[in-house]
Amino acid sequence: MNILFDIGHPAHVHLYRYAISKLKANGHKVIVTVKEIPSAIDLLNKYEIPYVSLGKKFDHILLKGLTQLKYNFNLYHIVRREKIDIAIGSSITITHVSRITRMCSIVLDDDDANAVVLFSKLAHPFAHSILSPAALKHDRLRIKDVTYKGTHELFYLHPNYFSPDPHVLEELGINQSDKFFVLRFVAVKAYHDLGQMGLTTAQKLQIVETLKPFGRVLITTEREIEPELAEYALKISPEQIHHLLYYATLYVGDSQTMTSEAAILGTPALKCNSFAHKLSVPNMLETQYNLCYAFQPDEFEQMIQKMKDLLANPDLKKSWEIKRRQFLDESIDPTEFLTWFIEKWPNSANVLKENGDYANRF
């Protein structure tokens, strides 16, 4: 089978890389396409995954429409040339091209439709199947919707694939017994971020001052760090961040993805942005498993108090590991599930239409 994965964000490299390896090992031809995002390309190179560029990615909303046409045009020619049978991605591009070629498209989407309205309207109607976490079951009611017990982050942080490496700590001069904190601040500029708010510089400084008495503070950011915070900037390669998150005492930030990553790794995670309480998958991690906490910008002081409460717990990491184990026990290996779904397509989709619980076997 000729299979294509489309990468539109650095997180997608993590999301698909183990499925790509499995499919290649099973004898399939796998092509990876990518929008030209330096951090995504760096990860592809690091993991030695060959790729084909679809062109530059722009953040300006007016340029996105024109760029999308370019992506579609470029992907169309790749699909025809490589005789692609099936494409996988969190991607508008693969769905559009799948309707003018013999290729089928499988979309992975872990967002509520009302949070990514444009993506839902432009991608979902054209996809052949849409795979989403079970937390979105109420939002995925079409025949082509498939749900599974897990999250996107579990594709690469499931114990079958992720083993914490303490050598990452050594490079930073940290002992496993040390208390330290990872902070992540993102650039709110994606199309679904319009009108959304993250943390202000003053709030970031308050977080740092609250944590400093308890341990070392490390900051990772998508943009140039503010001068006031420069001394805390984390100098670490992107593929090592998950090992650092695993050993961290707390995670605090305004990143959706890293909040979920920390929670799944058994590190208490606190998030403050205007998406708080609005997204089903993070809500599941918070309300069902109590692994993380979300706060609106006007609830910032409540987040500071929650940080203090957590730091007063001498068994904090041990208690989170128990919660993490429950989450893992009640989830599947989504990479194994995706690999099966692709290899058995279209029969896999028919099997799940008849028996949605079949996905729980993985």
Q: DSSP 3-state assignment of 31?
A: strand
- Domain span including residue 285: 167-329
| Residues 112 and 234 grouped into a single domain | no
The C-alpha atoms of residue 217 and residue 30 are separated, in whole angstroms, by: 41
Residue 96 has pLDDT above 80, yes or no: yes
| Residues 109 and 37 grouped into a single domain | yes
Candidate from 192-201, 208-217, 279-288 with smallest mean pLDDT = 192-201
**pLDDT tens digit string along 282-330?**
999 999 999 999 999 999 999 999 999 999 999 999 999 999 999 999 9
- Looking at residue 197, what is its pLDDT? 65
| Residues 134 and 206 grouped into a single domain | no
| Residues 215 and 230 grouped into a single domain | yes
Residue 191 has pLDDT above 70, yes or no: no
pLDDT confidence bin for 195, thresholds 50/70/90: very low
- pTM for the model stands at 0.92
- Looking at residue 179, what is its pLDDT? 96
**pLDDT tens digit string along 217-235?**
999 987 788 999 999 998 8
- Looking at residue 60, what is its pLDDT? 66
| More confidently predicted of 266 and 256 | 266
- Looking at residue 190, what is its pLDDT? 44
Residue 182 has pLDDT above 70, yes or no: yes
pLDDT confidence bin for 359, thresholds 50/70/90: very high
Mean pLDDT of the region 94-104? 98
CATH of the domain at 151: 3.40.50.2000
| Residues 338 and 261 grouped into a single domain | no
| Residues 183 and 100 grouped into a single domain | no
Secondary element (H or E) of residue 252: strand 250-253
pLDDT confidence bin for 155, thresholds 50/70/90: very high
Residue 357 has pLDDT above 80, yes or no: yes
Share of the chain above pLDDT 70, in %: 96
Longest pairwise C-alpha distance within the chain? 60
Residue 58 has pLDDT above 80, yes or no: no
- Looking at residue 188, what is its pLDDT? 52
| Residues 154 and 209 grouped into a single domain | no
| Residues 320 and 347 grouped into a single domain | no
Bridge partners of 185, per DSSP, are 221
| Residues 177 and 122 grouped into a single domain | no
| Residues 337 and 309 grouped into a single domain | no
| Residues 148 and 232 grouped into a single domain | no
- Looking at residue 299, what is its pLDDT? 96
The C-alpha atoms of residue 42 and residue 212 are separated, in whole angstroms, by: 32
- Signed CA dihedral, 34, 111, 47, 4: sign only: negative
User: How many structural domains compose the chain?
Assistant: 2
| Residues 124 and 218 grouped into a single domain | no
